Amino acid sequence: MIVCEALAYTAGGFALGPVDLELRPGVSVVLGPNGAGKSSLLALIMGLFRPKSGRVTIEGHNPLLVSPALRAGLAALSPQTIPPVFGICTADFIAAGAFRKTHHIYSDPSAARAQGEIMELANLSAQGGQDFASLSGGEKRRALLARALVQDAAWTLLDEPTSSLDYAHNRALLDLLRTLKHKGRNLVLVTHDADFAMAIADRIIFLRKGKIHSEGVPAAALTEAALREVFGAAFTRTPAGRVLPDYI
Amino acid sequence: MNQKRCLVTCGVFLLCVFSLMVGSTAVSPGDALAALFGSEDAEARAALQTILDFRLPLLVQAFILGGLLAISGAALQAVLQNPLAEPYILGTSSGAAFGVTLAGALGLGSLFWLRSIFAFAGGIIAAILVFCSAWRRRGMLSPLALILSGVVIGAFLTAAGMGVQSLLDPFEFRSTIGLLLGSFHILNWTQITLTLVPALVAGALLRSRAVVLDIFASGYASAHSVGLNTRRELAIITALVSLITALSVSLCGIIAFVGLTAPHLVRRASGGRHARLFPAAFIVGGCFCVLADALSRLFLPWGQIPAGAFTALLGAPVFILALRSYGGSHDSL
């Protein structure tokens, strides 16, 4: 379980928290508008930022106080920003995920086997020898996720996994995440895409202006009123049960 | 692959021979070889002596420093995730140059060891200043903060150095500028060994960090996620590069473009892994400096053009060619 206790963080004019939150095994989606503090929350969980006050524990360990290798075994991050990688092939990019288990990331047989399976799962086997920089946006997203999966951590955190993806790539990513969900992976997604959250989440946490607005199972939490309050835009529910912005 | 290696070996060998032959005194390869095999001919022995006392120290110095600058550039490009990074970006070179200028101002410019100590100390103090100003509250250290601090502190020290230079007498001013322009000087083997061995050790330690650099190159957050101690590794790698840079400036001043261009020239061919990139970049950087030094001696009858000018003159078009080779990677360069 990931536990945030009175977690607070400030940077410039931005303030997150204090946040009290428990993320239980399964798929949790943190939903909120731009600037709500979703990525900062993930960075705090990962130990990338130091909180102003409060603390995070993952399976009982504070990520800021454990060794990098232990921390990597607790949580893996698929970041929002695709790094400007130059000159590295996709297979090598993904292989780095095995670093916590072996420093021979290119030659360790068990790491190579796990990497092969995950690249196949992420539909990236054909792109292994291709320069990472030449992949499409959707392929890069899947490569980032594949790298986090090779890490084989207790929790996999995905920051805006659908940003800049078209419908087909969105669908491919959703299928991959559903497969992972069925395999029992613990996932935490942050996104502003309510449809995507509805399609995958066991639990939804609304974040607004750095504070938890509400949380619950998708059917109960994803209401027009909650979406309107959190995103500051009008939503309507379709007869099929989808909640869409009113401009659609 | 073997054919490529043969071609590279032959190319490096021919370049080294060219470098040994070129200079104010013409040296015939035949004479040098004859003396090497025991000829007592006075002309042959003079040729061999010229090579051993003057040309070979220059060749060794240029090759090793060029190679170390190239791998330092490759390491910084990875660790700072910036394709424009090069060894001088962290302000160490400006600190070392300030040290050389200060030595000149104190009348110590002609004393090799004191000048080198001033340069080295200046470079290391600049590196410490850069680290202290880039270190954020709550113990965070980011690549971008390092670059910005390096550029700002480098600019400050360059300006301070110019201020001190304006106070120097004309002879000392000319001598200091000559040292900083980027040229290789004739040194004895003790001087070469004592300055280049620490730099080579730093280079070997950088090479031992090849996998860490591969991971860094794919993003700071990802590197942190996979279990890399990013803060510690960033500090170690930039400290090693600072050491190499300070030593190189103390020996030959500012040699432009080698650290920037050499890694890009070989990155494609080496597949991006630093374990393969480093040896290739070392050879290219070394050859680049040997060629620049040989050209500066070849043009000696027309004036003293420093090797650093040739590395920039050759490096700029070569870098543009390297940029074109990245054409297919829309997100990289």
Task: Please return the burial class of A123, using the count of CB atoms within 10 Å of its CB with bins 0-12, 13-18 and 19+.
Answer: middle
From A48, A93, A133, residue closest to B224, measured CB to CB: A48
CA–CA distances in Å: residue B83 to residues A116, A134, B262, B285? 30, 16, 12, 16
Mode of pairing for the β-strands spanning A203-208 and A27-31: parallel
Contacts of B300 (CB under 8 A, 6+ apart): B23, B24
DSSP state string for B58-95:
HHHHHHHHHHHHHHHHHHHHHHTT-TT--GGGGSHHHH
Contacts of A238 (CB under 8 A, 6+ apart): A244
pLDDT of A164 strictly over 80: no
From A47, A83, A100, residue closest to B226, measured CB to CB: A100
Per CB-CB distance under 8 Å, the chain A contacts of B216 are none
The pair of three-digit structure tokens given for residue A50, joined into one six-digit string: 């130091």
Mutate to test the interface with A, among B77, B212, B218 (most CBs of A within 10 A): B218
How many C-beta neighbours within 10 Å does residue B75 have?
Answer: 32
Per CB-CB distance under 8 Å, the chain B contacts of A76 are 225-226
The pair of three-digit structure tokens given for residue A53, joined into one six-digit string: 């006050």
Q: Please state, in angstroms and rounded to a whole number, the distance separating the CA atoms of residues A155 and A1.
A: 9
B58-328 to CATH, choices 3.65.10.10, 3.20.20.80, 1.10.3470.10, 3.50.50.60: 1.10.3470.10
The pLDDT of residue B1:
59
Q: Please state, in angstroms and rounded to a whole number, the distance separating the CA atoms of residues B7 and A10.
A: 58
B42/A contact by beta carbon, under 8 A: no
Per CB-CB distance under 8 Å, the chain B contacts of A46 are 221, 224-225
- Judged by CB atoms closer than 8 Å, whether chains meet at B328 and A134 is answered as yes
Per the CB < 8 A criterion, the answer to whether B155 and B229 are in contact is no
Query: Residue B328 region, left (φ>0) first, then alpha (ψ -120 to 50), else beta?
Result: alpha
Which residue type, as a one-letter code, is found at position B272?
Answer: G
pLDDT in tens, A2-34: 999 999 998 888 889 799 999 999 999 999 988
Q: What percent of chain B has pLDDT over 90?
A: 35
Task: Output the furthest CA–CA distance in chain B (Å, rounded).
Answer: 72
The pLDDT of residue A56:
95
The rounded mean pLDDT for chain A is: 89
E strand or H helix that includes residue A76: strand A75-78
Q: Please state, in angstroms and rounded to a whole number, the distance separating the CA atoms of residues A112 and B142.
A: 31
pLDDT of B230 strictly over 50: yes
CA atoms within 13 Å, Cβ hemisphere of A198: 15
Strand partners, A75: A155
Q: Please state, in angstroms and rounded to a whole number, the distance separating the CA atoms of residues B279 and B203.
A: 11
Q: How confident is the model at residue B141 (pLDDT cuts 50, 70, 90)?
A: low
Q: What is the distance in angstroms between the Cα of B155 and the nearest Cα belonging to chain A?
A: 27
pTM of the model: 0.87
The pair of three-digit structure tokens given for residue A200, joined into one six-digit string: 């995958």
A164/B contact by beta carbon, under 8 A: no
pLDDT of B332 strictly over 50: no
pLDDT in tens, A121-156: 888 888 888 888 888 888 888 899 899 999 999 999
- Judged by CB atoms closer than 8 Å, whether chains meet at B227 and A68 is answered as yes
E strand or H helix that includes residue A95: helix A90-95
Of B106, B20, B30, nearest to B55 (Cα)?
Answer: B20
Chain B residue with the nearest C-alpha to that of A43: B221
- Judged by CB atoms closer than 8 Å, whether chains meet at B272 and A100 is answered as no
**The sheet that has A75-78: what strands, in order across it?**
A75-78, A155-159, A186-191, A27-31, A203-208, A211-216
Q: What is the distance in angstroms between the Cα of B170 and the nearest Cα belonging to chain A?
A: 47
Q: Stretch A227-231: mean pLDDT, rounded? A: 86
Q: Rounded to 5 degrees, what are φ and ψ at A85? A: -75, 135
Q: Rounded to 5 degrees, what are φ and ψ at B141? A: -135, 115
Where exactly are the structural domains of chain B? 58-328
Range with the poorest average pLDDT among B26-35, B57-66, B209-218: B26-35
Chain A residue with the nearest C-alpha to that of B229: A68
